[in-house]
Amino acid sequence: MPRESWRVRLGGGLRAYGLIVAMWVRSTMAYRASFAMTAFGTFVACALDFVAILLMFSHVDSLGGYALPEIAFLYGTSSTAFGLADLLIGSMDRLGRRVRDGTLDSLLLRPVPVLAQVAADRFALRRLGRILQGALVLGYALVALDIDWTVVRVLMVPVMIVSGAAIFAAVFVAGAAFQFLAQDAAEVQNAFTYGGTTLLQYPPSLFAKDLVRGVTFMVPLAFVNWYPALYVLGRETPLGLPAAVAFLPPVVAVVSCAAAGAVWRAGLRSYRSTGS
């Protein structure tokens, strides 16, 4: 397809996504008290994860050789990146339900990319609570850490969050594409998304090297925050990889999104409806 056609399709998809999101935001804000309570509930539920870490540090001085501010830095970068992806595209895990009950057919009839419709479906503004909670922990870590803040280290923080969000988004899309084949596989997708962010909240020194290899070379979640964060913290990279891998998250994000897009198109082409 000509490059201009791709640009037109991309622009149309983003515009449709924005319109659907705006519709759901207006619907949500029609009941502002309900939105405030659900967003606060999300904030509290996510905060309990960090409370568990604080309880651990009430009994130990370090975890895997990392002090509390360092763990908070890993936690904050992982949670904020995942929160952004979950807010923007977290509805992808509902695709399996649409495939099972045949309601995906109605999306195929509309002159709008199916990916944009599925990603924006039931856009949950309450997920801002997760982003806020992760950002607050990250803010604490940045204040508490004793780091020589160079320009490169300062720029590394927003780059890893944006790149990490893109990598998580790619995992969301690839997991949704898998549901075209395994229609009840939302939990498999969640193992790599929600499970992945929990994994990245802790240092790689706690995990077996085979697991670290898996999230480096197979599902590249380690590039969400482990490698760039270890550079910022002045720590050695696991697996004996060169320090330059800390600068690869934007590249990994682009490659992951391209691969997820190809998997999505293949999955969509294989869809044959329910026959009902």
Q: Maximum CA pair distance of the chain?
A: 63
Tens of pLDDT, residues 106-163:
888 888 889 999 999 889 999 999 999 999 999 999 999 999 999 999 999 999 999 9
- Residue identified by tokens 């509902």 is 94
* b/e burial code for range 133-156 (CB count within 10 A of at least 16 → b): bbbbbbebbbeeeebeeeeebeeb
Say whether 129 sits in a helix, a strand or coil.
Answer: helix
Tens of pLDDT, residues 168-179:
999 999 988 888
Say whether 66 sits in a helix, a strand or coil.
Answer: strand
Q: What amino acid occupies position 157? A: V
Whether residue 276 is predicted with pLDDT greater than 60 in this model: the reply is no
Tens of pLDDT, residues 179-232:
888 766 667 788 888 899 999 999 999 999 999 999 999 999 999 999 999 999
Whether residue 34 is predicted with pLDDT greater than 80 in this model: the reply is yes
Conformational region of residue 102, where left means phi above 0, alpha means psi within -120 to 50, and beta covers everything else: left
